[in-house]
Structure 1
């Protein structure tokens, strides 16, 4: 039977570098009073031996846990997973967060929490007690849940609030949903559209309202009316179908629709087909999210691309820097979204 390969330990690194265990520990944990030449010698030994610091050992050596905890909405995430709908918010969040954590010797732990749960404080407190994270990343709708933020403040744990513009504790980061909505609306206006419908997302998410605000503002700037052109969904496919049917059944139907996420945009495609409307010849369509599936629809969808990976990476950077750092922003950090133009948008038929 093959013997298990012996793990490289801090003692091997110390022997290789010809230094004490304490010196190796200070280098690994970014301690002070380590001469540059000594740090280089230890790092060379680490590289040569392929040593990977143990999180357990690091936790014993100081007050840090080297863990960042990211929280996402339980109900919606599980529903998407079970439906296998192709949404990649979680994938992108893990991509940005895990890679940035790895740069600093940290690990990202992903947990699902139900923001409507009456026991949310007890549930989150148990996770914090078990993991003792150095920081927490909140995503909508958790970002502005006062029960969650108050618990983190009480626990003295730094936290980042993605998708939040509210003042208060924690580091606020936003993808400028209002600006992204204006960008989508302006694209359609520049093509000649004036009757642009909008399908809003769930009222549980503040960003749903910001996107409506951006659409209204850009329409007003162009002198275009919005009466009767707003429908509300809840980010699900079924709600998108109902909203699209309501908009397209009007005597003066919209010539373009903006859907607040990809699932509702897919529902618009189905509704347009039922109403005998070709995309983009008779109805232009723009969606939010830009998940992989919208590149493979017919036609591929013009989409607002949300920088989920980048904003999560920035959140990790700020949390690792520490709550007391002078580099932390005192106003919401904006990582703007972009518009990816594909084949689902064109001038309205009358202006073609």
Structure 2
């Protein structure tokens, strides 16, 4: 039978007090970097895992953070949660998931009841929940630390984002540089702030190039494969665009599927591009030109920021916010290339 490693064992191994080990485990301040590294090395060497229940009773915390989401793109969610889990594991925290329907009646009451029941120490919100002002107000009133992912919300809550507008502008400029002037655009759901931001970037690039927007070439999807295919079927009837910018990879994959069924050669007769650089962008054929949004790293950063807020290592003053902007990268692949257009 394996012998359970205790906090006393870690303290003895590191040559520090039990209190010091506790401070390191709980991510408290007032511990030197040298001592912290020594304790972490002992924890790793002994494979020590703190007792979550005991930690919660001692510190009046659950050592859980929650993720509230309504996003039907599984690739995005898996990447985001992977980064969050990585950070939580390193801090001996758990991650609790709260899936919701943004349009449901009583959304705020549902989420707040879940927060009370799960006793999470803080909450990570993903789009479109990030734009639900009543929910943000309710969480603030309850004193629950919150960090937004991929959205600025109302601008008064810490957020981890990329410049969605500029990223979409760069993607559209890529298509224009290839000779395309008839460009279709598939929006995401209106409730997602990213949908509007990406559309704004698309419009800005066209305006800068002196290209008028063709309203018939702009349709709305739901950020999933099926809606991308349906939108493409509309765009590819009759006179069609020479390029389609789908505002996420799942929808872009749906466009590829529709084009293949219609016998439209990609990229020779139709360029298709997406956004996010999720695994599906490299699994389809031809592989998708897309915007690499560092989703896993953003999840990692958002969870770390939330843990710092919980530990009061960083403070948010009333009326102010912290915005951490990550970089993006245009990944050119087989679905778009130089044409004779």
Shared fold, TM over 0.5: yes
Please say if 1:60 is aligned against 2:51.
Answer: no
Residue 65 and residue 222 in structure 1: after superposition, are their counterparts in 2 closer, same or farther (change >3 A)? same
TM-superposed CA distance for 1:290, in Å, is 2.4
For residues 111 and 225 of structure 1, do their structure 2 counterparts lie closer, same or farther at Cα, with a shift above 3 Å needed?
Answer: same
Equivalent residue number for residue 142 of structure 2: 155
* Cα shift readout 1:262-289 (whole Å, capped 9, x = no counterpart): 2322232233235442111111110123
Whether the 8 Å contact between 1:303 and 1:340 is mirrored in structure 2 is yes
* Contact 1:153–1:169, Cα closer than 8 Å, also in 2: no
Match of residue 248 from structure 2:
261
- Take 1:201 and 1:38, find their aligned partners in 2: how far apart are those partners? 48
For 1:84, the equivalent position in structure 2 comes to none
Match of 2:218 in 1: 230
State whether structure 2 residue 110 is matched by structure 1 residue 123.
yes
Shift of 1:21: 4.5
**Range 184-193 or range 324-333, more displaced:** 324-333
Distance 1:245 1:257 in 2: 12
Quote the offset at 1:239 in angstroms: 2.8
Task: Provide the TM-score with structure 2 as the length reference.
Answer: 0.87
Q: What residue number does 2:228 align with?
A: 240
1:333 corresponds to 2:321: no
Q: Secondary structure at the residue paired with 1:290? A: coil
Distance in 1 (CA, whole Å) between partners of 2:261 and 2:38 is 70
Paired residue for 2:337? 346
Question: Displacement of 1:256 after TM fit?
Answer: 0.8
Distance 2:38 2:260 in 1: 67
Cα distance in 2 between the residues matched to 1:35 and 1:296: 46
Q: 1:255 to 1:27 in 2, by over 3 A?
A: closer
Mapped to 2, the partners of 1:299 and 1:164 lie a distance apart of: 30
- 8 Å contact 1:282–1:349 — kept in the other structure? no
Comparing 224-233 and 277-286, the one that deviates more: 224-233
For the residues of structure 2 that align with 1:34 and 1:210, how far apart are their CA atoms?
42
In structure 2, C-alpha distance between the alignment counterparts of 1:144 and 1:339, rounded to whole Å: 27
Specify whether residues 150 and 349 from structure 1 end up closer, same or farther in structure 2 by C-alpha distance, changes over 3 A only: same
Q: Which residue is equivalent to 2:237?
A: 249
Q: Is the 8 A contact 1:158 1:319 kept in 2?
A: yes
| RMSD, aligned α-carbons | 2.8
Distance 1:38 1:314, change over 3 A: closer
Give distance in 2, aligned partners of 1:21 and 1:88: 42
1:111 is paired with a residue of what secondary structure?
A: strand
Count of matched residue positions in the alignment of Structure 1 and Structure 2: 336
Residue 221 to residue 31, structure 1, CA distance change in 2 (3 Å): closer
Q: Could you tell me how far apart the structure 2 residues matched to 1:258 and 1:295 are?
A: 17
**Greater relative contact order structure (CA < 8 Å, 6+ sep):** 2
Q: Residues 218 and 8 from structure 1, CA distance in 2 versus in 1: closer, same or farther, beyond 3 angstroms?
A: same
Gapped regions of structure 2 (runs ≥ 5): none
Aligned mates of 1:33, 1:236 — CA distance in 2: 47
Return closer, same or farther for 1:194/1:37 CA change in 2, 3 Å cut-off.
closer
Does residue 7 in structure 1 map to residue 29 in structure 2? no
Equivalent residue number for residue 291 of structure 1: 278
Q: Which whole-Å CA distance do the structure 2 matches of 1:301 and 1:331 have between them?
A: 33
Structure 1 residues 242 and 32, CA, compared in 2 at 3 Å: closer, same or farther? closer
1:136-285 alignment to 2 at 5 Å?
136-227=123-214, 228-251=216-239, 253-285=240-272
